[in-house]
Chain A
Amino acid sequence: MSNGKASHGRVLVLQGNEAVVEGAVAAGCRFFAGYPITPATEISEAMAQRLPAIGGTFIQMEDEIASLGAVIGASLAGVKAMTATSGPGFSLMQENIGFACVAEVPCVIVNVMRGGPSTGLPTRVSQGDVMQARWGTHGDHPIIVLAVSTTRECFDITVRAFNLSEKYRTPVIILSDEVVAHTREKIQLPHPEEIEVFDRIKPNMPPEWYIPYEDTPRGVPPMAAFGDGYRYHVTGLIHDVRGFPTERAEEIQAFLTRIHRKIYNNFHDIMMVKEELVEDAEILVIAYGSVARSARRAVKEARERGVKVGLIQLVTIWPFPRQYIEPLLRRVRAVLVPELNFGQISREVKRINQGRTRVEKLNRIDGQLITPDEILSRLLKL
């Protein structure tokens, strides 16, 4: 969408990166800070047009560390905020991702994956950042990571990412990839009233009663914005319920337990998978991102040849949809996990499989997409 206009209801041809921007705007994002990087730059470019026109703010910062810093600052001041980057920039963002986890600041980080490590393959597709998205920042922390595979998903999942980040006061990472980001597809943007948008819960008690990091049944305390009259302290240090640094064992334990609990206890709300022909499947393909597109085609063709195969497309990558996948592993005779890395998700599938069934990998790390034929020929041999 080169002219920066919103066009709800019209049929458009958008690339994934542009659809991310439309999704973000529809979810209420009004602040974007970023740093140019291939293949994520179109997100910055579209934001630079869209946001000022609707009273929001776009800023290009001096690097990716600064970009996420500004995003967290904007969110603390009450504005929904996002940044977008690719591998090298995502590496730089790790310290502030940890900050957002610990200070419980809602924000969305899009990582359009390209080949790595280091500068790697700037214009080639990869899914090499799956584990970095989970464990890139230091220390035990919960995180929500979602993967997109189509332009439509870029829109829908970005809305969902904002909703989850607001609901659980957590950074949410969207893993896109070079193919999804740059493939142009037909999309009909929903009207704003069709889109479910969740805003963070604000405190409604008098300021003197507000305990900013108080435990609640959901594990998510209400969040006041700076300037709303609830003066409180935000820190990256482990803190007590008032937000003040603590080194007391029982307070540390309670805090870290709560921030994990708020995500894992709400697993069913956070978990999203798309399944196809799974009911009678004897073989499962587990895929995500652009590879899920090839997998869908391969599964269809295998079915035409009489192979009982089903597809599970992971949308929620982390927390890993263990509760959903585990029962399926008990009844299928084989699982194929195609991905554009040496086996980051297949490792997780094997970990929960515990030897129940056969788990096979199909990997490409050469900057090329896995084709439907490659998946099909493996399926026919299983």
Chain B
Amino acid sequence: MAEITKLIHKYLRHDKKFPHVWCPGCGNGILLGSLIRAIDKLGLEKDEVVLVSGIGCSSRLPVYVDFNTLHTTHGRALTFATGIKLAKPSLNVIVIMGDGDAVSIGGNHFIHAARRNLNLTAIIINNNVYGMTGGQFSPTTPYGAYTTTSPLGHIEHPFAISELAVTAGASFVARGTVYHTHVLDEVIEKAILKRGFAVVEVISNCHTQYGRKNKMGSAVDMLLWMKKVAVSVEKADKMSPEEREGKITIGVLVDRDLPIFTQEYQRIREEARKRWATVTKSA
């Protein structure tokens, strides 16, 4: 067995949960590999890791791995993660969402989580479509694209998830693709290490639904498409707006140090204790 396979197997729940629900060639598995490599490299104990997800293909990810895992309601993963992190700040809480989950039904939670700046890691697998329900357009489906609910071409314009996270105040925002796995490993590792709300948007392929409707070919063809359209942040900075048209910027978009919620709240606790906590004894 290759070393990398052994490593992956160290973290999988073999006893129960296979085969998985994903289509052959799905990018979700590649992201899972990246996540495992990052966690292993950082040396996190399994007991200290909590994986929280919402609803959708990508949100089935936690069940396969041997951490504390929580599969919540659609769009609400970040809210549950908020409670876990506040109750036990020592845990590494990593949230896995899809594009529909994170920025459609969960869009409000997403921007507020970014603004609140808890020490959470949010990984959003963006495949531009609702895959599990059969290929309806999502908030990241491009203008003109075909899906089962935009059979004549999509007339809305997509969210740029990473840019939204930057504007909403996240401490760290990075984008990767499931083709550029080295970049992905690296940004996930940085996101987990980051003190503050860290977002990683992962461009992925749903060849079964989105690719098929938009004549993008097989899983491999879609990976090659990612290879073609992705440019590094450094390179994109030197490009003109015209040259950047149709490109996907990958790498770290923002990395800034902002006060985190738990740190601020500790201050509130100390102040509240001074003012209000002495009474029980004196009464």
Segment from A36-44, A54-62, A160-168, A308-316 that makes contact with B: A54-62
The reply to whether the CB of B86 lies closer than 8 angstroms to some CB of chain A is yes
B276 in contact with A49 (CB, 8 Å) = yes
Which of B47, B70, B112 interacts with A234 by CB under 8 Å?
B70
CB-defined interface of B260-283 with A at 8 Å, one 1/0 digit per residue? 000001001101110111011001
Least CB distance, A233 to chain B, in whole angstroms: 5
A73 in contact with B83 (CB, 8 Å) = yes
The reply to whether the CB of B231 lies closer than 8 angstroms to some CB of chain A is no
Which of B48, B52, B86 interacts with A57 by CB under 8 Å?
B86
B276 in contact with A233 (CB, 8 Å) = no
The reply to whether the CB of B159 lies closer than 8 angstroms to some CB of chain A is no
The reply to whether the CB of A324 lies closer than 8 angstroms to some CB of chain B is no
Q: Name the CB-closest residue of A to B59.
A: A235
Least CB distance, B265 to chain A, in whole angstroms: 7
- Report the 8 A-B pairs with minimum CB-CB distance, sorted nearest first: A73-B83, A69-B79, A77-B87, A70-B83, A52-B272, A74-B83, A73-B80, A5-B279
CB-defined interface of A25-54 with B at 8 Å, one 1/0 digit per residue? 000000101000000000000000110111
Which of B73, B80, B279 interacts with A7 by CB under 8 Å?
B279
- Contact A69-B87, Cβ < 8 Å, known A49-B272, A57-B265: no
B275 in contact with A4 (CB, 8 Å) = yes
B71 in contact with A57 (CB, 8 Å) = no
Least CB distance, B35 to chain A, in whole angstroms: 16
B69 in contact with A234 (CB, 8 Å) = yes
The reply to whether the CB of B247 lies closer than 8 angstroms to some CB of chain A is no
Which of B62, B70, B86, B276 interacts with A31 by CB under 8 Å?
B86
Residues of A within 8 A of B91 (CB): 77, 226-227
A74 in contact with B84 (CB, 8 Å) = yes
Segment from A171-179, A213-221, A237-245, A357-365 that makes contact with B: A237-245
* Interface hits, B64-80 → A, CB 8 Å: 66-73, 76, 78-80
Q: Name the CB-closest residue of B to A242.
A: B16
B79 in contact with A231 (CB, 8 Å) = no
Q: Name the CB-closest residue of A to B75.
A: A65
B72 in contact with A245 (CB, 8 Å) = no
A31 in contact with B83 (CB, 8 Å) = yes
The reply to whether the CB of A229 lies closer than 8 angstroms to some CB of chain B is yes
B84 in contact with A73 (CB, 8 Å) = yes
The reply to whether the CB of B180 lies closer than 8 angstroms to some CB of chain A is no
Which of B50, B112, B273, B279 interacts with A227 by CB under 8 Å?
B50
Residues of A within 8 A of B13 (CB): 233
Residues of A within 8 A of B76 (CB): 65-66, 69, 95-96
B47 in contact with A229 (CB, 8 Å) = yes
A227 in contact with B80 (CB, 8 Å) = no
B71 in contact with A235 (CB, 8 Å) = yes
B108 in contact with A62 (CB, 8 Å) = yes
Q: How far is the CA of A242 from the CA of B66 in the complex (A)?
A: 13
Residues of A within 8 A of B88 (CB): 77-79, 225-227
The reply to whether the CB of B63 lies closer than 8 angstroms to some CB of chain A is yes
Q: How far is the CA of A66 from the CA of B110 in the complex (A)?
A: 11
- How big is the B interface, by class? 35 or more
Q: Which of B67, B112, B276 has the most CB of A within 10 A?
A: B276
Residues of B within 8 A of A231 (CB): 46-47, 66-69
The reply to whether the CB of A274 lies closer than 8 angstroms to some CB of chain B is no
The reply to whether the CB of A81 lies closer than 8 angstroms to some CB of chain B is yes
* Interface hits, B220-275 → A, CB 8 Å: 265, 268-269, 271-273, 275
New contact pairs (6) apart from A77-B84, A237-B71, CB-CB < 8 Å? A49-B276, A55-B269, A62-B112, A69-B82, A95-B76, A244-B17
Least CB distance, A183 to chain B, in whole angstroms: 24
Q: Name the CB-closest residue of B to A56.
A: B269
Residues of B within 8 A of A237 (CB): 71
B276 in contact with A53 (CB, 8 Å) = yes
Q: How far is the CA of A74 from the CA of B72 in the complex (A)?
A: 13
Which of A9, A73, A229 interacts with B82 by CB under 8 Å?
A73
A233 in contact with B280 (CB, 8 Å) = no
Q: How far is the CA of A53 from the CA of B272 in the complex (A)?
A: 5
CB-defined interface of A127-144 with B at 8 Å, one 1/0 digit per residue? 000000000000000000
The reply to whether the CB of A17 lies closer than 8 angstroms to some CB of chain B is no
- Contact A233-B62, Cβ < 8 Å, known A8-B280, A78-B88, A227-B88: yes
Least CB distance, B113 to chain A, in whole angstroms: 9
Q: Name the CB-closest residue of B to A73.
A: B83
Residues of B within 8 A of A67 (CB): 79
Which of A5, A8, A57, A62 interacts with B87 by CB under 8 Å?
A57
Q: Name the CB-closest residue of A to B283.
A: A7
Q: How far is the CA of A269 from the CA of B62 in the complex (A)?
A: 37
